[in-house]
């Protein structure tokens, strides 16, 4: 067998709330034949897992072991759905059984019951029952078929929207602006598909007459051998295909149809949280369920799920876009920021800056504002959008971050979307190595360390006098071990009393609490108060106004001013 896992998804009940027959979580693996590149879907309708119970003769009644030899443990197998009941039955402890029954009979909400049942897994006698069920299937598959290397097929995309009648930047949750162009580049086939929305304007007709053949010729001339070499692409020409549509929904459907036909292993966009959410919500505005457009029609179970991570720093955000798909949908910006974080934070994570930094190429220039560029100069508009996608492909060809992501995922037996979360991938890596050496790791015992009020040692944990003489030179020409050019020792604790007095900070002077909430796509209220206050006191009025009042950015204001230059 020459198949490898290219995507692994948990079909969770919360994705199928409109299907009364969907009563149990399932595991779906997307498999790829290494010889033919054909893909297939394997669904485990009733997922099963192994867990281990410490034998009574090795249980001293109080110790929590971090791991144990297999011979100390009893191996059990159960359906994932009945895991907790199986653990209670296997331990056969009257006290634990009574606790389990009490939780079920308490009549609490499903969420509260779930949290309390999870506590049963923290029993000292339970081993390796709390890992992610999908990751366990990845591990078992990779143990049977250890050749996890495969040629990774990548696709890249970008959208633009008609923001000519929208004030400020169009919010992806509301999606007020129609999608008017999508460029999708299949890197393995070297085909660039461009889907455009027709406009009854002279600039559109001028650019797109003869089915856009002049545009294609200009693209072929621009992306010549020298340019493709800069972008780490083969010298063969990129094939450009331009398709025009009268209706937005037909344009969007054509894009997803092509993606589902090509079945790339990865589909990547830069800051694709905007693109994916906008596309999803624009489909809904047409009265269509997004899964009926986004998912391949042959998928047995269809769902589309998006979890947005709120934050400013791309290295600290983890957007999740899941769908019943042959492809992994990822955000290249957050992937880039996370992987390059150890080498230092970049000055900017815009596509323009990173393109210049990595491959020496940038986005195309245009006149005025992008919001109505398609109405003023359609040629510039379509070339701008295409360049964004080709530039993104060039960055990935240079960095090969997707390749690294796949290697980390296969090495640690972790889902692609979770492998950058170190607590998950390191845990899975440890599990595999322990099992290979005849041992089993315990469950998460972090609760043992809660409530520890011991002070944490400061920066100096040794005698400062032991520092070597490697500091700044003093007047006698000798290096000091106390004075350093770029280091300052400041005890912030000494400033707290003075700050409290100077700013009259006390319970009596408090006048209220600032609270700011934002709803996610499911309507759940997210407390953003800390981030709101941090942004406010940063004194960055432009960023604050753009983020919370949907006002134009500095760049957009500059473009607006330039576009109105000379008008009365």
The pLDDT assigned to 132 comes to 94
> Residue 243: pLDDT above 80?
yes
pLDDT band at 459 (very low <50, low <70, confident <90, very high): very low
Average pLDDT for residues 295-324, to the nearest whole number?
85
The per-residue pLDDT for range 345-394, each reduced to its tens digit, is 888 999 999 999 999 999 999 999 999 999 999 999 999 999 999 999 99
Question: Distance between CA 508 and CA 488 in Å, rounded?
Answer: 35
Task: Using alpha carbons, select from 133, 153, 142 the residue that is nearest to residue 264.
Answer: 153
The partner residues of 29 in beta bridges, in order of sequence, read 8, 42
Tens-place pLDDT, residues 122-155: 899 999 999 999 999 999 999 998 887 888 999 9
| The three-state (H, E, C) secondary structure of 107-168, written as one string | CCCHHHHHHHHHHHCCCCCEECCCCCHHHHHHHHHHHHCCCCCCCCCEEEEEEEECCCCCCC
Please give the average per-residue pLDDT across 524-553, as a whole number.
76
Domain 154-408 classification at class level:
alpha beta
- Going from N- to C-terminal start, the domains of the chain cover 3-148+421-447, 154-408, 464-563
Confidence check: pLDDT of 57 > 80: yes
Q: Which of 514, 554, 511 has the alpha carbon at shortest distance from 532?
A: 514
What is the Cα–Cα distance from 19 to 21, expressed in whole angstroms? 5
The average pLDDT across 519-546 equals: 76
Residue 49: pLDDT over 90: yes
Burial class (CB in 10 A: 0-12, 13-18, 19+), 187: buried
What number of other Cβ atoms are within 10 A of residue 155's Cβ? Answer: 26
Distance CA 418, CA 225 (A): 38
Q: Percentage of the chain surpassing pLDDT 90?
A: 59
| C-alpha dist (Å) from residue 449 to 299, 377, 423 | 45, 62, 16
Nearest-angstrom CA–CA distance, 251 and 199: 13
Q: Are 31 and 56 in contact (CB under 8 A)?
A: no
Out of 125-129, 311-315, 463-467, least confident range: 463-467
The SS3 assignment for 317 reads coil
- Overall size of the chain counted in residues: 568
What single DSSP character describes residue 522? T
In tens, the pLDDT along 158-213 reads: 999 999 998 888 999 999 999 999 999 999 999 999 999 999 999 999 999 888 89
């Amino acid at each position: 067998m020459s198949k490898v896992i290219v995507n692994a998804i948990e079909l969770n009940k919360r994705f199928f709330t409109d299907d009364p027959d969907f009563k149990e979580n399932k595991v779906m693996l997307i498999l790829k034949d290494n010889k033919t590149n054909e893909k297939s879907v394997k669904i485990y309708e009733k997922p099963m897992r192994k867990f281990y119970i410490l034998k009574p003769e090795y249980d001293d009644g109080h110790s929590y072991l971090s791991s144990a030899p297999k011979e100390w443990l009893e191996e059990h197998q159960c359906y994932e759905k009945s895991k907790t009941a199986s653990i209670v039955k296997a331990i056969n402890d009257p006290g634990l059984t009574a606790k389990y029954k009490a939780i079920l009979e308490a009549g609490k909400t499903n969420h509260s019951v779930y949290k309390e049942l999870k506590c049963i897994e923290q029993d000292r006698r339970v081993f390796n029952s709390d890992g992610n069920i999908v990751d366990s299937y990845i591990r078992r598959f990779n143990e049977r078929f250890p050749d996890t290397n495969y040629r990774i097929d990548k696709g890249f995309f970008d959208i633009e929207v008609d923001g000519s009648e929208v004030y400020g930047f169009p919010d992806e949750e509301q999606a007020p602006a129609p999608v008017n162009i999508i460029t999708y580049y299949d890197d393995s086939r070297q085909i660039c598909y461009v889907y455009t929305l027709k406009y009854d304007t002279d600039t559109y007709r001028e650019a797109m007459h003869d089915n856009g053949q002049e545009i294609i010729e200009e693209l072929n001339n621009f992306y010549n051998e020298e340019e493709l070499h800069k972008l780490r692409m083969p010298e063969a020409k990129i094939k450009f295909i331009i398709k025009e549509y009268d209706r937005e929904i037909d344009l969007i459907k054509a894009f997803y149809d092509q993606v589902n036909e090509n079945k790339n292993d990865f589909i990547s966009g830069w800051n694709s949280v905007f693109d994916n959410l906008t596309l999803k919500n624009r489909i809904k505005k047409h009265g269509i369920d997004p899964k009926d457009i986004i998912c391949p029609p042959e998928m047995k179970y269809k769902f589309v799920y998006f979890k947005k991570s709120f934050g400013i720093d791309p290295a600290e955000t983890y957007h999740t876009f899941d769908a019943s798909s042959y492809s992994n949908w990822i955000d290249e910006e957050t992937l880039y920021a996370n992987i390059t974080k150890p080498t230092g934070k970049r000055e900017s994570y815009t596509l323009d800056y990173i393109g210049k930094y990595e491959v020496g190429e940038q986005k195309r220039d245009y006149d005025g504002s992008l919001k109505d560029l398609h109405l003023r100069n359609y040629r510039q508009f379509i070339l701008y959008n295409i360049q964004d996608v080709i530039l993104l492909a060039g960055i990935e060809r240079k960095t090969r971050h997707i390749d690294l992501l796949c290697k980390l995922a296969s090495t640690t037996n972790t889902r692609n979307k979770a492998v950058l979360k170190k607590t998950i991938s390191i845990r899975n890596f440890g599990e595999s190595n322990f099992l290979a050496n005849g041992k089993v790791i315990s469950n998460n015992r972090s609760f043992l360390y809660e409530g520890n009020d011991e002070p944490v040692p400061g920066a100096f944990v040794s005698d400062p006098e032991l520092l070597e003489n490697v500091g700044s030179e003093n007047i006698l020409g000798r290096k000091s071990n106390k004075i350093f050019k770029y280091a300052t020792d400041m005890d912030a604790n000494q400033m707290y009393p003075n700050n409290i007095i100077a700013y009259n900070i006390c319970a009596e002077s408090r006048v209220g609490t600032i609270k700011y909430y934002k709803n996610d796509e499911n309507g759940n209220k997210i407390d953003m108060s800390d981030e709101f206050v941090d942004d406010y006191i940063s004194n960055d009025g432009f960023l604050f106004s753009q983020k919370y009042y949907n006002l134009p950015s500095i760049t957009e204001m500059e473009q607006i001013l330039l576009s109105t230059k000379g008008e009365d």
